[in-house]
Structure 1
Amino acid sequence: MSEEFEIKNKVAASGLINFDLTDLVPKGSRKGIDLKDFLFMEMVLKEKDFREKVAAIDIEDYRDSFVYVYNSADAIVPLWAYFLITAKLSDVTRKIVFGNLQNLEVILMHDAISSHDFSEMQGKRVLVKGCSDKEIPENAYVELVEKIQPIVKSLMFGEACSNVPILKN
């Protein structure tokens, strides 16, 4: 085929870095622990009963998982209850947090962005992928911009064929 009819990938040749935040989403199971299940009649925390139920947790069910601890009951739970659950599981979990699944995902993405090496983007044009089949917390996009803004030449959001310019340095 002659060079005049050769198909060229202009996006690849442009030096544009396509960045997909889903690449930073930690892989692994997410598991929730509802403290309601540890309460007497789902309403009252009795210390002795609570400690027995915590002691009975099979930690292998949570090994290498990302765990969120919450309370769906309309009951006051003392802070030390969260300490006991965390102390029981923290050696086997990859991460344990207070809150719901959404809170967990925000924290996981925060940790992933904070620890990621973005040096490859130094002085480059960067396009952050806009569409994904995984749900990314909005806060991750905010943190990403904050992290890479000082180092990129330009930042865009969307797809190569249709993007929104965000900044130029």
Structure 2
Amino acid sequence: MDQKIFINKAEASGIIALDLLDYKPTTEIVELDIKDHLFMGMIVKEKEFKESLAAVDFSVYNEKAVGIICSTDAIIPPWALMMLMEKLSPYAVYVDLNSAETILLDLWKRRLMYADLKCYKNQKVVVRAKADHDPALYLVAAGLLKPLVKTLMYGEIGLPKVIFKS
């Protein structure tokens, strides 16, 4: 009887997958609404602002990334942000004047930019497609991989879209 040997063509192709999810930050990201420290939720009054900050236990932000937002149309002077940073700096690992979603993307791109991608040198690489990933991540990945790889692709190993071949 004939024995049929099945060959996994995807495996035999020599394509290596890069999954952007591997570079997603694990740091917890929280938002701090500065509105909660404003007089009537709208006005920065120095004395009241300082008293409000003094009443906060900033240790709750320990080892977290903090996005400072203002959910009202208040004008926040730079010195108020500096005071807030002074309180957060002993605890938070990252602070920015942005939403949690924007901070996640910034940290994710940063992790990707500082990743050791030497293992992809002269390889055929496919960046795995995920609909829920921000397109900016693919832009960063392409920029980092192009000087290294022999072939850059998008999608899945079995059916990639060729982006670049050297």
Same fold (TM over 0.5): yes
Give distance in 1, aligned partners of 2:10 and 2:34: 51
Partner residue, 1:47? 46
Q: Deviations over 1:5-50 (max 9, x none)?
A: 3444332333211111011011132100111111111110011111
Q: Deviations over 1:65-116 (max 9, x none)?
A: 1110011111111011111112211222221111112220221022111210
* Counterparts of residues 27-66 of structure 1 (less than 5 Å): 27-66=26-65
Gaps of 5+ in 1: none
Give distance in 2, aligned partners of 1:44 and 1:13: 65
Partner residue, 2:76? 77
Aligned amino acid, residue 116 of structure 2: D
Aligned amino acid, residue 147 of structure 1: L
Q: Please tell me whether the aligned partners of residues 156 and 165 of structure 1 are also in contact (alpha carbons under 8 angstroms).
A: yes
Q: How many residues are paired up?
A: 166
Aligned amino acid, residue 89 of structure 2: S
Give distance in 1, aligned partners of 2:145 and 2:55: 45
Are the structure 2 counterparts of residues 3 and 25 from structure 1 closer, same or farther at C-alpha, using a change threshold of 3 Å?
farther
Residue 159 (structure 2) pairs with residue 165 (structure 1): no
* Counterparts of residues 144-163 of structure 1 (less than 5 Å): 144-163=141-160
Partner residue, 1:15? 14
- Scaled by the length of structure 1, what TM-score is found? 0.89
Measured after TM superposition, the shift of residue 125 of structure 1 is 0.5
* Counterparts of residues 115-126 of structure 1 (less than 5 Å): 115-126=114-125
* Counterparts of residues 96-111 of structure 1 (less than 5 Å): 96-111=95-110
Measured after TM superposition, the shift of residue 127 of structure 1 is 0.5
Gaps of 5+ in 2: none
- Scaled by the length of structure 2, what TM-score is found? 0.91
Give distance in 2, aligned partners of 1:90 and 1:136: 30
Question: SS of the residue aligned with 1:162?
Answer: coil
Give distance in 2, aligned partners of 1:21 and 1:59: 32
Q: Please tell me whether the aligned partners of residues 105 and 137 of structure 1 are also in contact (alpha carbons under 8 angstroms).
A: no
Give distance in 2, aligned partners of 1:3 and 1:64: 62
Partner residue, 2:87? 88
Measured after TM superposition, the shift of residue 4 of structure 1 is 5.2
Give distance in 1, aligned partners of 2:93 and 2:10: 38
Are the structure 2 counterparts of residues 6 and 94 from structure 1 closer, same or farther at C-alpha, using a change threshold of 3 Å?
farther
Q: Superposition RMSD on alpha carbons, in Å?
A: 1.9
